[in-house]
Amino acid sequence: MEKGIKGVRLLVLTDSNEFRSHEEVARAAIEGGAQAIQLRTKRESTKEALEIGKRIKAMCKGKVLFIVNDRLDLAMALGADGLHLGQEDMPIEFVKELSKKSGKELMIGLSTHSLEQAMDAEKRKPHYISFGPIFPSRKKPSSISVGTEKLRNACKRVNIPVIAIGGINRDNVEEVMRAGAQGVAVVSAISEATDPKRAAQELFEKINATINEAL
C-alpha cells in the first residue's frame, strides 16, 4: 500500500451493535483487506472509547491506518495516524496547529456533502475529503443522498483524494469507483454483515477489479 491515504481503497468505520463489538468489526475488516480503520464511538464514554481505541490501534499497527472520528483528544491520546472531522467539528487550522505542537502531525480528513463544500475543503488543505452520502444510508436516514453524478463532478473539480461514503455495498461499489472516487468508506456493509470478513473481502475485490478495468 502507498504511504498515507493515497493507498487507501477501503476504509471501514467501526460501529458496535447487538451482534458484534467495535473490535470484532475492526478485526474482520482488517482480515478482509481494509486499509484503514476509523474508530467511530458515538455512544461510548471517553473512558470506554479510549480502551476500545487502544485495542484497535494494536490491531492496526504496522498493517493499516488508524483514524479517529471527530475527537482530537482521543486521536492525540491514542497516537492515531489521523483524525476525521465533520463540517461542525473543530476547524482544520486549529487541529493542524495543536497536532504540530504535540510533535505528531495528524493526517486530517474532512466530511463534505456538496461540490461547494468539497471545493472549500480543498482550500483548507486536508489530506483527503469524504463525499456523500452517495446513496441513502440507514445510519443517517435524514441525510439527502447526492448520487454518483455529483460524486463524479466533485472528483473532477478537486485535486485531493476523495473517499466516497454513504449506503455503499457490494452491489453498488463498482458504480462508485467508476465515478472517480479513490476509495470508499463503509459502516453497516461490514458491521451488519452476516460474515463481516467475507463482506470486506468482496468489497475489496470489487474495488480492485473496477480499478484494473480502467487501466
Assess whether 61 carries a catalytic annotation.
no
pTM: 0.95
Considering its fold, how many domains does the chain have in total? Answer: 1
CA gap 103, 7 in Å, rounded: 24
Domain hosting residue 208, numbered range: 4-214
Q: 3-state DSSP call for residue 145?
A: coil
Query: CATH code at 73?
Result: 3.20.20.70
Question: Can you give the pLDDT of all 215 residues of the chain as single tens digits?
Answer: 345 798 899 999 998 887 899 999 999 999 999 999 999 998 999 999 999 999 999 999 989 999 999 999 999 999 999 999 999 999 999 999 998 888 888 999 999 999 999 999 999 999 999 999 999 977 666 678 999 999 999 999 999 999 999 999 999 999 999 999 999 999 999 999 999 999 999 999 999 999 999 87
Assess whether 152 carries a catalytic annotation.
no
Looking at 96, 124, 139, 140, which residue is catalytic? 140
Q: 3-state DSSP call for residue 165?
A: strand
Assess whether 21 carries a catalytic annotation.
no
- What pLDDT was estimated at residue 2? 45
HSE-up of residue 12 (Cα within 13 Å, Cβ side): 35
